[in-house]
Amino acid sequence: MEASQGRELTSQMRRSTGSFELVLSPLLFALVGFGVDSLLGTVPLFTTLFAVMGFGGACVRLYYGYQLEMDEHEKDKPWAKQ
């Protein structure tokens, strides 16, 4: 594998982390919520609440990460706001 192919593969893998965040964050939060529910005896409540919080947090993180990346691309453009 050439160096340029390795860089491209690394770049593509970095971009694909958003999909993992959207899946794993709610899953991990739901598992924690399920543990809390098991202790308290309120099975669907905290599982659902934590899963929604995990998904919302992942969406917010992806949004602000995208905004930061776009600002980095735009800062060197001649039409960019100064």
**pLDDT tens for the 82 residues of the chain, in order:** 666 666 676 666 666 677 888 899 999 999 999 999 999 999 899 999 999 999 999 999 989 988 998 888 888 777 755 5
CA 58 – CA 39 distance, rounded (Å): 26
Contacts of 26 (CB under 8 A, 6+ apart): 51, 52, 54, 55, 58
* Host H or E run for residue 64: helix 43-74
Give the pLDDT score at 41. 94
How confident is the model at residue 82, as a pLDDT? 53
